[in-house]
Amino acid sequence: MNGADYVLKCLRAEGIDTVFGYPGGAVIPLFDALYRDGGFDVYRPSHEQGGTHAADGFARASGGVGVMIATSGPGATNTVTGIATAYSDSVPLVVISGQVGSSLLGKNSFQEVDIVSITMPITKYNVLVTDTKDIGPAIRRAFFIARSGRPGPVLVDITKDTFEAEMEDLPYAVQPIEIDTRYLDCMDEIKEACDLIRNAEKPVIYAGGGVLKSGSFEELRKFAKLLNIPVTNSIMGLGAFDRTDPLSYGIVGMHGQRETNLMVYRSDVVIGIGVRFSDRAIGNRTGFSEKAKIIHIDIDETEFNKNIDVDVRILGDFKKILQIMTEELTDVHFNRDIKEIEEKQSEKDFLPRRYIETFQEKLPEDTNVATDVGQHQMWTMMYWKAKKPYSVITSGGQGTMGFGVGAAMGAKIARPDEEMLLITGDGSFRMNHHEVLAAASHKVPMTIAVFNNHTLGMVRQWQGLFQEKRYSHTDIYDALDLEALSKAYGVNYAGKVHSPEELEEVLEEIDLDEINIIECMIDHDDGAYPMVAAGKSINNIIDRDQMY
């Protein structure tokens, strides 16, 4: 075999049968091996960034690892935004990039880029491979690091001559994930946390993406239900706890509901599980809670005291820690009056909310949702009732416009028997709509809702609030015709709707086995509220009527 054949042997041993990739000079041998092998499902995007987002969406929806292949030079650099997105959101991603031949390295050769140096700050591990004997160890280490601890992206850069070189069929063994026993060193801290909870009056759980990454959602449910403690989420934690449960209060922070933010701010104990306490969630270091004791349970010790000062730090396996705490607190049950958040009638009549609720009512119950980034993302996070894990696909830490279509395609490939809804904005959709062509080419069905307000809505909202309504370069009034674009891509333009009633009619007519694009028209002054200004405490809430 040659090096490229051996790469495929390694991928198969790691349980990979689906890859995303875009061919180019340096990876011609690898694509030739894929062609000859015939055992992998290969999805070619329209652009390497979209392909990396697709591999990311596949990983998020499957709970596994996404794989992206790109060629050298611009092919590799086009993956950088996708890698950074995965790094911020702790998504296990393996990017295999081709590199110029070994004899051409360091000579500014055609399509030569030092992608290892470029991606060093945004990968858990990366390596340049110039010898066939190093292929196996590099890929084994890459998958191990991508999956283990706090997951994340890795990159393996392989020279073209290494792909082409003949080699022996070497044995390959997967490096098993080590059992995390660090919680055993935190038994005093676990007891201290339980004592704080036992003596609390108004505790709150703040659950993040780590609960999903670790598969600890059932342990979270048992813990919250036993103690009758309300559960809030970071954006990345949505799906970790059923949003239809009366204990679920949704997201907290910059776009958290007023009642949710105030509940957290006035609590006396906050139990943070698998969260970064990011600036968008806490406002500022002292602004997340008025006087609460903070318990932080995490798998990454570098997160402790990074963004917020905590009182108890517990490091290690969430499953084990929650099991121990649940057993320790079986006699504790809070009798607080927990109920669904009651919102103003004006909020219930808010058109973007009614669109989202209509989609949820009319599409099948197993529908998963993906978003791009902007106001539509915040509305989705606020109003979509995620009931199951891995069902919300969105870019959190990077806030990557252009994430949506590729990620939705990857997620649908991972969960082909469940419906996929992409909610995007007219601004975000312009950045990635060419991936609709990739989805159409590979026959990956989805429903795409373009929330069209003819503006870059979130930026315009900030300009209205903080730049005295100087709307600089945010309005979008041009000749883009989504119906004509849909026809060009060979997908169904289901229509332009102005009300939930019109949307219902459209949803009754579409074929969910196709790609359907629906334009949902909204007003450019419809903002994502409530809102907390950057750096302010989460109780400093701006409501919709305060913008004007």
CA–CA separation, 74 vs 300, rounded Å? Answer: 33
| Contact indicator for 234, 209 with CB cutoff of 8 Å | yes
Instruction: Output the pLDDT for position 94.
Output: 98
Specify the CATH number for the domain of residue 23.
3.40.50.970
Cα–Cα distances in angstroms (integers) from residue 462 to residues 65, 74, 321, 465, 528, in the given order:
36, 34, 41, 5, 10
Are 292 and 383 part of one and the same domain? Answer: no
pLDDT at residue 356 is higher than 70: yes
Residue 394 domain flag: yes
Are 133 and 223 part of one and the same domain? Answer: no
Residue 520 domain flag: yes
- For residue 337, name the pLDDT band (cuts at 50, 70, 90): low
The proportion of the chain whose per-residue pLDDT surpasses 90, expressed as a percent, equals: 93
Residue 439 domain flag: yes
Residue 536 domain flag: no
Q: Which residues contact 312 (CB under 8 A, 6 or more apart)?
A: 189, 192, 193, 196, 293, 294, 295, 296
Are 218 and 107 part of one and the same domain? Answer: no
How does pLDDT run across 446-461, given as a tens digit for each residue? 999 999 999 999 999 9
pLDDT at residue 179 is higher than 60: yes
pLDDT at residue 343 is higher than 60: no
Residue 108 domain flag: yes
Specify the CATH number for the domain of residue 257.
3.40.50.1220
Residue 548 domain flag: no
Q: What is the mean pLDDT of residues 206-235?
A: 96
Are 68 and 212 part of one and the same domain? Answer: no
CB atoms within 10 A of CB 462: 16
Residue 336 domain flag: no
Instruction: Output the pLDDT for position 128.
Output: 98
Are 252 and 384 part of one and the same domain? Answer: no
Q: Considering the entire predicted model, what is its pTM?
A: 0.95
- For residue 548, name the pLDDT band (cuts at 50, 70, 90): very low
* Mean pLDDT across the chain: 95
Are 372 and 456 part of one and the same domain? Answer: yes
- For residue 338, name the pLDDT band (cuts at 50, 70, 90): low
Residue 368 domain flag: yes
pLDDT at residue 346 is higher than 60: no
CA–CA separation, 117 vs 113, rounded Å? Answer: 9
Are 374 and 263 part of one and the same domain? Answer: no
Higher pLDDT, 276 or 341: 276
- Which secondary-structure segment (H or E) carries 232? strand 231-233
How does pLDDT run across 472-491, given as a tens digit for each residue? 999 998 888 999 999 999 99
- For residue 339, name the pLDDT band (cuts at 50, 70, 90): low
pLDDT at residue 283 is higher than 50: yes
Are 158 and 287 part of one and the same domain? Answer: no
Q: Which residues contact 431 (CB under 8 A, 6 or more apart)?
A: 372, 401, 402
CA–CA separation, 410 vs 54, rounded Å? Answer: 4
How does pLDDT run across 389-398, given as a tens digit for each residue? 999 999 999 9
Q: How many domains does the chain have?
A: 3
Instruction: Output the pLDDT for position 143.
Output: 98
Domain ends where: 270, 294, 328? 328
- For residue 154, name the pLDDT band (cuts at 50, 70, 90): very high
Are 359 and 308 part of one and the same domain? Answer: no
CA–CA separation, 225 vs 239, rounded Å? Answer: 16
Q: What is the mean pLDDT of residues 436-447?
A: 98
Are 418 and 504 part of one and the same domain? Answer: yes
The proportion of the chain whose per-residue pLDDT surpasses 70, expressed as a percent, equals: 97
Instruction: Output the pLDDT for position 527.
Output: 93
- For residue 546, name the pLDDT band (cuts at 50, 70, 90): low
Give the residue numbers spanning the domain of 34: 3-164
Domain ends where: 281, 313, 328? 328
Q: What is the mean pLDDT of residues 414-418?
A: 98
CA–CA separation, 250 vs 88, rounded Å? Answer: 21
The residues carrying an active-site annotation are 48, 110-111, 160, 458
Are 136 and 216 part of one and the same domain? Answer: no
For residue 93, the SS3 value is strand
Are 324 and 358 part of one and the same domain? Answer: no
How does pLDDT run across 22-80, given as a tens digit for each residue? 999 999 999 999 999 999 999 999 999 999 999 999 999 999 999 999 999 999 999 99
